[in-house]
């Protein structure tokens, strides 16, 4: 248990569906992240939020829409996804407000399959 929870753990959706991934951290951290993990590829940073403000969008397609209502919660809204978007989506948090060297705490991930 790392103090970062994600729901759902598994999600299967069609290309026309709209769904949302949820992340919650109980560590009192100020920064939260979304990563995409695909087989045989390095972790890909998608978004960074510091103190609820988005500070990084790593050229992510608009069919992925993040939302950070407060420092403890992070959402990823999904709409009209493609089969190649199937992957493990990981949420992480860290103490400092940025991509610093203080280490990141990851949630267990949501395994997403797009049909």
Partner 1 sequence: TQLLEQSPQFLSIQEGENLTVYCNSSSVFSSLQWYRQEPGEGPVLLVTVVTGGEVKKLKRLTFQFGDARKDSSLHITAAQPGDTGLYLCAGVVVRGSNTGKLIFGQGTTLQVKP
Contact present, 21 and 64 (Cβ < 8 Å): no
CB of 80 to partner 1, least distance (A): 27
Residue from 32, 68, 90, 112 touching partner 1 (CB under 8 A): that is 90
CB of 42 to partner 1, least distance (A): 4
CB of 16 to partner 1, least distance (A): 28
Q: Site map for partner 1, 29-58, x if CB under 8 A?
A: -----------xxxx-x-------------
Contact residues for 91 (Cβ-Cβ < 8 A; gap 6+): 4, 6, 21, 23, 25, 32, 33, 34, 35, 74, 106, 107, 109
């Amino acid at each position: 248990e790392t103090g970062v929870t994600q729901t759902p753990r598994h999600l299967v959706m069609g290309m026309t569906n709209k769904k949302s991934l949820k992340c919650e951290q109980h560590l009192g951290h100020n920064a939260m992240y979304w990563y995409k993990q695909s087989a045989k590829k390095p972790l890909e940073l998608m978004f960074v939020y510091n103190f609820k403000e988005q500070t990084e969008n790593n050229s992510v397609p608009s069919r992925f829409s993040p939302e950070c209502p407060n420092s403890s919660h992070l959402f990823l809204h999904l709409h009209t996804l493609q089969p190649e978007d199937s992957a493990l989506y990981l949420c992480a948090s860290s103490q400092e407000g940025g991509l610093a060297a203080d280490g990141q705490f990851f949630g267990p991930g949501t395994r997403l399959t797009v049909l």
